[in-house]
Structure 1
Amino acid sequence: MLTVAATVVVLAAAFGLISVRWLRLPIVVGTMLLTVLSSVGLLALSGAVPSLRQAALHSFGQLNYEAFMLHGFLALLLFAGAFLLDIESLWEERVAIVILSVFATVISTLLVGCGIRYCAPWTGFHPSWIQALLFGAVISPTDPIAVLEMLRRVAAPRWLQAQLAGESLFNDGVAAVLFITLLGIAEQGRAPSVPAVVSHLLIQSGGGLALGCVLAWPVARLMRAVDAYQIDILMTLSLALGGYAVAEHLHVSAPLEAVAAGLALRWESRRNPNNIAREEIEHFWSAIDEVQNSVLFVLMGLQCLVVAYSRGFLLLGGVSIVVVNVARFASVACALLALRLIQPHRRSSLAVLSWGGLRGGLSIALALSLPFALGREWILATTFIVVTFSIVIKGGSMDIFLKRFAPQD
């Protein structure tokens, strides 16, 4: 296990250096691209030297990516992302963020499910309705990591950064709740009533948000009781990991708990900063966020070694790229139309929000958690293709795209 961890960290450092020094790409985009290319090259060489792939599978097959992501990395990633956000801009854009993270995610899940249900037969696959909707829930959450770096680089407005980042953080939890609900329906073999589904979603989501806020308050009080930045950092780590574990034990949304805890602690530390080492904490979580993301994208790229591909999977992946992007555009358009009705003067950008909806590690982790009887093989392969396209192609072109389409203050 130590060998695997050391290899991943070395690859993350090497690929990050190449990305910044020579490719001039965002670290996460370049890291993902180089890892996928390395994995594909290894697969190509395995035809001549079969032992290469066998050794790689033996090494990296030991890592349980699903558990590593859903029950480890995600807690720190979401907490760090929420804690480092501009809380004032986020509050100003709260209505837009709620509509985008909830309404647009639900619409996207339904549209992707319908699109795959009717388009997949062209590629030789015939998924059931529940499998198609599960894929919709898997692929709907967006990842803010790569695009936020680009937004800052082109000096995009703070309100646009807040909308895209806030949506990405909260829709992780919403999509995870949708996924768990659909998975429960599939395993029970019958659909529950609409009120039962809605109440389950509200309990899961609301419980996670409430728990995060409740846990952040005593942590902030304890941080003010001592004047030592080391203790402050340990307290924030305790909140990020401990709160996530408590949420899982209570069967409420752990991703939403992590987001709420990060935001609540940020708000408490800014409201009353006495004896709280704000700069040291922010530097710590910024470093944790960047290092984790580099490692995560290496792990994502290495999943190429364990995903089974065929000509049919590649065709389905190509169709899914079109379906997912059309669904993203339509769901964001519906969300912004609703926003315009509620807040007629609220600014937004359909082009940037649609193209900036990158997919990431949560989608792969959710796909890996599916049982084979519910289409795990095709969903995992298709998800990996869509995520790779999203990070490498869309993320790699965001610099040019934002310079052309990002509105200015």
Structure 2
Amino acid sequence: MNQALSAFDAAAILIVLSAILGWINQRFLRLPGTVALTMMGAIASIIVVLIDHALPGSDLSGTVRRFLSGVDFHATLMDGMLSFLLFAGALHVDIDQLRKGRRQIAILATLGVITSTALVGLGFWGLTRSLGIEVPVIWCLVFGALISPTDPVAVMAVLKTARVPSGLQATIAGESLFNDGVGVVIFSILLATAVSGQSFSLIGAGELFLVEAVGGAVFGFVIGWIGYRAMKSIDDYSVEVMISLAVVMGGYSLASALHISGPVAMAVAGLLIGNRGVAEAMSDRTKDYLLKFWTLIDEVLNAVLFLLIGLEAIVVAQRWGLIGLGVLTIPLVLAARAVSVGVPLFAWRKLLPFRLTFPIMTWGGLRGGISIALALSLPASPIKDVLVAATYMVVLFSVLVQGGTIKAVIQRATGRGEGRAEPHG
């Protein structure tokens, strides 16, 4: 594998692999797409490592690692894919249902993430100390921040394949759309503290959080409204699709330059265009073209993202000693998720049936590419190796085990649920 692989060549390889593995899944396995591509990518990575062990002269794993190092996962996802994926996901969320559950979503996406960050961070600190691994508390909290947000890409993919009451679906989708933006902001604040070595300032962190998160929401509304008005003034499906692309690409780039949350901005812009724009600014022909275009973008990028997650197994395979830590981290993250959503859900049990909502939101809180991208963005150090290995094991379990069984969990929960879950504000 040529180390001087161009961006186009790397993209071509990933698309070809995604198409081949996607065909194999549809032809023979019939698993959820995200689960199948992650699983086959991970299996391919393991096979490559085993071949190298069986044939001493082979360096297949080195070749794959060089290819992966040429694909900057953090830049690819956070500065490329994420804007498209969040916008595409938000297009299909019913804003009326979202508005009914706005208080619940706001609390789950903010206080829920903060609570989970603290619980995972402190628990991970205790776990590493018990195993004789020295990781400072602030770096454990950084890990808590990067692993706490549920991945909207993974969650949306699961919701498409399972029957979930519309109100509960909007709550889950809304939380996953916004908690990743909140999580990225908290991660940035804690990482800056960890790298600088300065003491943590709660007031300073709160101010930065408000600027990034609230600023991102306001900015997303502004660019979404501009896109909506532009679409309403014309009737040409090709131009209107280009306007939606301009909102996503130009808006995300400008949000980054303004140091406000691009993920939050994309979620808000997607909600505005996907609801008011689709209802008032588009002809039936334009609506059909635009929604199908963004569905295709969503499917293609999903396939590439989860294949990349699977292939990253070859990087973690070089750190066998840390895999045990990663396995022990899985129940810690699940427990933190159960507490961070369980406490508020129990308080809202008259609005959202607890026996229905709690298992779905706990087991359906999937981690995905965002967590891996944030882990890989950490500065190189032995601590990074520890956090990357733990992150990968949690994400792999989340996508393969939780993603592979969530449909059964939903069916069981809805079978015994206390009616339909319709959140109220």
TM-score range, shorter chain: over 0.9
Find the residue that maps to 1:372 and give its secondary structure: coil
- Structure 1 residue 58, shift from structure 2 partner: 2.7
Instruction: Give the 3-state SS of the residue equivalent to 1:354 in structure 2.
Output: helix
Q: Is 1:6 the counterpart of 2:15 in the alignment? A: no
- Indicate whether 1:161 and 2:169 are aligned: yes
The whole-number CA distance in structure 2 between the counterparts of 1:339 and 1:319 is: 31
Residues 79-113 of structure 1: per-residue CA shift (max 9 Å, x gap): 11111212222222212211111111111100000
Instruction: Map residues 4-403 of structure 1 onto 2, 5 A cutoff.
Output: 4-47=10-53, 48=55, 49-275=57-283, 277-307=286-316, 309-340=318-349, 344-347=350-353, 349-373=357-381, 375-403=383-411
Q: Secondary structure at the match of 2:254?
A: helix
Deviation at 1:23, TM superposition (A): 1.7
Contact kept, 8 Å, 2:229 with 2:281, in 1: the verdict is no
* Greater Cα offset, 223-232 or 302-311: 302-311
* Cα contact 1:120–1:319 (8 A) shared by 2: no
Q: CA–CA distance in 2 between the matches of 1:72 and 1:235?
A: 18
Q: How big is the shift at 1:157?
A: 0.4
Three-state SS of the structure 1 residue aligned to 2:366 is coil
Q: Does 39-48 or 357-366 show the bigger shift? A: 39-48
Larger deviation, residues 144-153 vs 281-290 = 144-153
Structure 1: unaligned runs, 5 residues or longer: none
- Give the paired residue count: 406
C-alpha distance 50-374 of structure 1, shift in aligned 2 (>3 A)? closer
CA contact (8 A) 2:163 2:410 kept: no
- Over 3 Å counting, the alpha-carbon distance change for 1:388 and 1:177 in structure 2 is same
Q: Which residue identity is paired with 1:221?
A: R
2:305 aligned partner, one-letter code? L
Q: 1:134 to 1:26 in 2, by over 3 A?
A: same
Paired residues of 1:151 and 1:402 also in contact (CA < 8 A): no
- Cα distance, 1:193 vs. partner? 2.8
* Contact residue 115 and residue 323 of structure 1 kept, 8 A: yes
* Aligned mates of 1:107, 1:303 — CA distance in 2: 29
Deviation at 1:373, TM superposition (A): 4.0
Q: How far has the Cα of 1:270 moved from its partner?
A: 4.2
Read off the aligned partner of 2:316 and give its amino acid letter.
V
Q: What amino acid maps onto 2:340 in structure 1?
A: S
One-letter amino acid of the counterpart of residue 28, structure 1: T
Q: How high is the TM-score relative to the length of structure 2?
A: 0.91
The residue identity in structure 2 corresponding to 1:327 is A
Cα drift, residue 21 of structure 1 = 2.7
Q: Distance in 2 between matches of 1:62 and 1:290?
A: 23
Are the equivalent residues in 1 in contact too, given 2:154–2:368 (CA < 8 A)?
A: no
CA contact (8 A) 2:116 2:336 kept: yes
1: CA distance between counterparts of 2:282 and 2:158? 34
What one-letter code is carried by the residue in structure 2 that aligns with 1:105?
V
Letter in 2 for 1:162: A
Contact 1:89–1:158 under 8 Å retained in 2: yes
RMSD, matched Cα = 1.8
Given that residues 177 and 201 in structure 1 are in contact (C-alpha distance below 8 angstroms), is that contact kept between their aligned partners in structure 2?
Answer: yes
